[in-house]
Structure 1
């Protein structure tokens, strides 16, 4: 693949992209249906044996020793992975086993609706199985007993054996069902599913759309599972799921539900308009959309948050896509938000200071991040790159956006070992990998980023003919 801009004519860079794509394909698939891995949680008296269809956030076992325990099926992460699997299938990098993974994932997800925390909370010796020092982390009976019906889909995560998580955690979280609906709708749109699989996928899509209709107005925890409120990311993917769901429902003849989804999607987007932080003075007419950013959250208690400027806003744009003209990569306000994040991480991360020519800033989550190294995230930096490629594909100054996206990718390349392993973070000072190893989301982000780059390159070449 060649381009007219200089940064995209480096054979070594193109070779690395291809090699890393192979690494990330294998790395991500190691988290899908990891049935050969057994996870022991002696503190909780648990042994977890995954079943087909589960997708763990990381297949590398940890217990905060020092790596975190990410051997869970997160609703959000698994949706990102199943969408990246579609890209690999369409690109013929994964064969028909992808369809089996999708079938297993769909059945696993549908079966979760049968979980009932009331039965688990009623087990007489539940607390006796937990060692004393772990009781502080054990979920309270009342909270566990509330996990049934719709509430299961708001659980944030479950065990990969299809059982409820018994640890205290940030709940509810409402981004999982709309993300899953978007991923499944894209699978359906590709026309790859046989009748039996389509029927199962359809049932799950309807569940997720109905969930989103019922709960998008309710406060939940943010993408990072830290603060309760109304969050740009969750609202944006909800709007996308409702809009895409409306088009699909119209196509299958469910006109009434389609209209309801369309109206609710418009309502979400109107609410998101108010998330713009205007940094003009009061005399401004705000025609300059470059002097502010979309804030990431409105907290449930109304208090200000130091996490208002957050990469989650950019991730929402690439996870949603669709035909919107605002709250998407083409939105000048969204581009202004990326520029503010660029400046933020350029200033606070030592690895960004005096960085080599042709490299973009390593990107994190938000300014006050202290989780593990509080450093750069692979999926944040790759998300910024994909955002640029999405802008390039829409026209305009495509070569400049392509070059900017490649600059982020060059930074990822600089902090990726020859093995192709991608953890969750790389340290803000040393660049060393930290937090969970072989993070499925990191690999999925690389896969979707390279796919977006290919689309952008095709659009750029077409415009130059």
Structure 2
């Protein structure tokens, strides 16, 4: 039976989110591309490029022994010291952590050894190796820079954005495993720090990358067009949209290039933001729809009516797909539907041109199909037809690669990254909608978040007792996760997922406080059965309690104020978890220990140390090992971006509540 399961597995096992590629593929020596990162050197040696340095780091990383054991680490480990940050009052911690988050985020933009505009996912170069620029991660991080530039107009931020745009243009026109600028190449996942595309085995394409970049740069472009600054307006037309393709296709605007890719490719299967599962994903499709909406708006502003109409039509066509993610029986938004791969994509494989990888994959799939048919015939000959049909169901489920629950914090992140200003970010609506609520609603996302909280409350030891006490819980990616930041074993909470939950709650508070200030008397909070049950589960001790189900909660009702304050407090409770398990000095890795106990590195061949467990304290520079709370990549750019956006949304929520008279001015919200 197990053999048949292996026969029917569609393609090789997925590459987990940025896990060490040599660990997964068992590569012995050499880079995953079969040559140096910057292209094969003519003399067989590594070329002197940043990419080559990255590949040298890859080669130095350990490979597991066949029996799963590792050579013991033969050095002393510095014991963990008490972290003074965890004892600070929350407001004081926030005041200290936010500038540090900005410092670490900007340190990962064009760091030493990279090229202008490069946003490295992390400084880690081995165990794990994140010394790359992911299209998605870079866009999410640069969006934070865009928002600060819009608010403050800092010259250094404008320089960063110009360099990011130029770096994006260069990478768009590189030949990748998937193709070139006009035939699918923009779906490539990540690039070396010298702009060269990664050509090793990986889960590709990932179309949310270009979609995320559109959202970031279209937001910038639309703002620049409103400034009245002729130079800035000219920059939009020259570098962003439409560019100057008459001078050569490589001079097409970055936004224009991404829009054409998204508008023609959104129907295709792709890998999710965690780079593990291929299919149709809520995060991806919501990102692409928002990108197309913004692109259409920008095109209209620039008088490009034809493409604007085409982009808007493509965005509208995505709507029916978004409806399919709702599981009414379970009350959750599923993260993925229609599991499957594009046959021509060459997912999980790649060479310098991608051709050999696609052929090899097709041959492998043909062999698997033939063997599966043979296995089926053998089952039928033994009269085990019923057993075979049971097996089919198991195999079909196996296409999810273990993600059978459909629950994932990516649903919440989708709204934060691509759902602002849409009904996905609002729970308020017209009182007339009580009987017929709109399909798109933050209520569905909130219900999903409550389910995630329930799952993770028992998944991680550090969450013991938190839900019962009305507190927030540390969140990971999804319940079935096994990526520990370096290997496949047991997963841990993620800072960005935990902060994402807080940010979403603050977003809802902003919606409610805006509703309370609305001059329209019919604007109320309809307590539909789903919203009523969700809020009751989320806030079981709310006092005064919510009125009856199917009623409408008015801002003047005492329960409305209680609801706003409780959501603010729960959001702060999520932030308090980050404070409790923050790294020394405020450092945020990708993950943190699931039991909340700092510890050293897992043992690895040659005594190599996981990067988050290296001693980077003053004068150490990574020499030696220390017990640390962080796991996986250290100083993850996305973790710091998540902190910044979360605290920005918190500030808006608190100010909104004060202006609505729902909280006292200047008074911090009490943590649960």
TM range (shorter): 0.7 to 0.9
Q: Does 1:300 align with 2:393?
A: no
Tell me how far apart the structure 2 counterparts of residues 327 and 183 of structure 1 sit (CA, whole Å). Answer: 18
Change (3 A) 1:258 1:399: farther
Cα deviation for residue 87 of structure 1 reads 2.9
1:138-180 per-residue CA deviation (whole Å, 9 max, x = no partner) reads xxxxxx3745644332111011101121321111111101111
Tell me how far apart the structure 2 counterparts of residues 433 and 214 of structure 1 sit (CA, whole Å). Answer: 41
Q: Does the 8 Å contact 1:216/1:235 carry over to 2?
A: yes
Q: Does the 8 Å contact 1:81/1:440 carry over to 2?
A: yes
Q: Does 1:53 align with 2:117?
A: yes
| TM-score normalised by the chain length of structure 2 | 0.57
Cα deviation for residue 418 of structure 1 reads 4.2
Cα deviation for residue 101 of structure 1 reads 0.6
Tell me how far apart the structure 1 counterparts of residues 200 and 96 of structure 2 sit (CA, whole Å). Answer: 39
Task: Choose which of 649, 652, 656 in structure 2 pairs with 1:452.
Answer: 649
1:391-411 per-residue CA deviation (whole Å, 9 max, x = no partner) reads 111116432222221111111
Which has the higher Rg, Structure 1 or Structure 2?
A: 2
Task: Choose which of 81, 89, 96 in structure 1 pairs with 2:149.
Answer: 89
Q: Does the 8 Å contact 2:589/2:633 carry over to 1?
A: yes
1:406-459 per-residue CA deviation (whole Å, 9 max, x = no partner) reads 111111111113411100001212352100000000000001111111111222
Counterpart residue number, 1:19: 96
Counterparts of residues 156-167 of structure 1 (less than 5 Å): 156-167=189-200
Tell me how far apart the structure 2 counterparts of residues 57 and 326 of structure 1 sit (CA, whole Å). Answer: 28
Tell me how far apart the structure 2 counterparts of residues 248 and 22 of structure 1 sit (CA, whole Å). Answer: 33
Cα deviation for residue 331 of structure 1 reads 2.1
Task: Choose which of 254, 263, 277 in structure 2 pairs with 1:227.
Answer: 277
Tell me how far apart the structure 2 counterparts of residues 173 and 196 of structure 1 sit (CA, whole Å). Answer: 31
Counterpart residue number, 1:425: 591
- Structure 1 residue ranges without an equivalent (≥5): 1-9, 38-49, 118-143, 280-290
Task: Choose which of 431, 443, 449 in structure 2 pairs with 1:332.
Answer: 443
Counterparts of residues 28-427 of structure 1 (less than 5 Å): 28-34=105-111, 36-37=112-113, 50-59=114-123, 61-63=124-126, 67-92=127-152, 95-117=154-176, 144=177, 146=179, 149-191=182-224, 194-198=232-236, 199-202=238-241, 203-279=253-329, 291-298=330-337, 299-300=339-340, 303-304=396-397, 305=400, 306-307=402-403, 308-326=406-424, 330-355=441-466, 359-372=471-484, 373-395=490-512, 397-427=563-593
Tell me how far apart the structure 2 counterparts of residues 403 and 264 of structure 1 sit (CA, whole Å). Answer: 40
1:302-355 per-residue CA deviation (whole Å, 9 max, x = no partner) reads 934342111111100000134322476752111111111111111211110024
Tell me how far apart the structure 1 counterparts of residues 235 and 633 of structure 2 sit (CA, whole Å). Answer: 33
Tell me how far apart the structure 2 counterparts of residues 461 and 256 of structure 1 sit (CA, whole Å). Answer: 45
* 2:327 alignment partner, SS class: strand
Q: Does the 8 Å contact 1:173/1:221 carry over to 2?
A: yes
Tell me how far apart the structure 2 counterparts of residues 15 and 189 of structure 1 sit (CA, whole Å). Answer: 36
Q: Does the 8 Å contact 2:101/2:641 carry over to 1?
A: yes
Q: Does the 8 Å contact 1:233/1:313 carry over to 2?
A: yes
Cα deviation for residue 255 of structure 1 reads 2.5
Tell me how far apart the structure 2 counterparts of residues 328 and 236 of structure 1 sit (CA, whole Å). Answer: 15
Counterpart residue number, 1:285: none
Tell me how far apart the structure 2 counterparts of residues 459 and 319 of structure 1 sit (CA, whole Å). Answer: 21
Q: Does the 8 Å contact 2:178/2:187 carry over to 1?
A: no
Change (3 A) 1:260 1:171: same
* 2:465 alignment partner, SS class: coil
Cα deviation for residue 89 of structure 1 reads 3.1
Counterpart residue number, 1:140: none
Q: Does the 8 Å contact 1:359/1:410 carry over to 2?
A: no
Cα deviation for residue 252 of structure 1 reads 2.0
* 2:268 alignment partner, SS class: coil
Change (3 A) 1:252 1:147: closer
Number of corresponding residues: 401
Tell me how far apart the structure 2 counterparts of residues 146 and 256 of structure 1 sit (CA, whole Å). Answer: 26
Q: CA RMSD in A?
A: 2.3
